[in-house]
Amino acid sequence: MQATTNTFLLKAVAMLGALERSGVLFKVITPDGNEYGTLPYMRELMNKKIRRKHGSISIHIDPHLNSMKQGDVAVIKMPHDADFSINDFQSRVSSRMCALWGSGKGTCHRNEDTIEVLRIK
């Protein structure tokens, strides 16, 4: 790390350290691995392996949502190999609805292993 960057870092850590005495916790990790602060931190979270390929759920959900018009209802079955709960699946469907249609333009309801989707606008 360059001397100027290191100087600014040390000043920032000193200011955060002053806040830490008031109960504010922080953790700064530099690219070379130096750590400052006392915030509990799990290094494993930074190296967390993704269980599914990015977009694999959208591929399952999108065919149902893309063709929907105002007033249409669709029933989306949870993938048989799902490694998540129906609540998580509903959250993913709802998020995808907002991304495709915009906020407030659809609603969904969860059943045992399906999500019912209604496009409102």
Q: How many domains does the chain have?
A: 2
pLDDT surpassing 70 at residue 46: no
pTM comes to 0.56
- How far apart are the C-alpha atoms of 39 and 72, rounded to whole Å? 49
Q: What is the pLDDT of residue 4?
A: 85
Q: pLDDT tens, 87-108?
A: 989 999 999 999 999 999 999 9
Query: What is residue 70's predicted lDDT score, i.e. its pLDDT?
Result: 94
For residues 109-121, average pLDDT: 93
**Dist. CA 28–CA 35, nearest whole Å:** 6
Domain assignment present for residue 51? The answer is: no
Q: What is the pLDDT of residues 6-36, one digit of tens each?
A: 889 999 989 888 887 788 888 888 888 888 8
Does the pLDDT value for residue 59 go beyond 70?
A: yes
Enumerate the β-bridge partners of residue 106.
119
H-only helix segments in the chain = 3-20, 43-46, 56-66, 86-101
Domain assignment present for residue 113? The answer is yes
Residues 15 and 63 in one domain: no
Highest mean pLDDT among 33-42, 46-55, 92-101: 92-101
Domain co-membership, 32 together with 61? no
Residue 19 lies in a domain: yes
| Domain match, 102 and 74 both | yes
Q: Are residues 68 and 20 in the same domain?
A: no
Same-domain pairing of 10 and 39: yes
Q: Do 22 and 63 share a structural domain? A: no
**Residue partners of 16: CB distance under 8 A and separation at least 6:** 24, 26, 28, 36, 37
Angstrom CA distances, 113 to 65, 96, 110, stand at 18, 18, 8
C-alpha 106/C-alpha 4 separation (Å) is 52
Range of the domain at 8: 3-46
Q: Are residues 31 and 60 in the same domain?
A: no
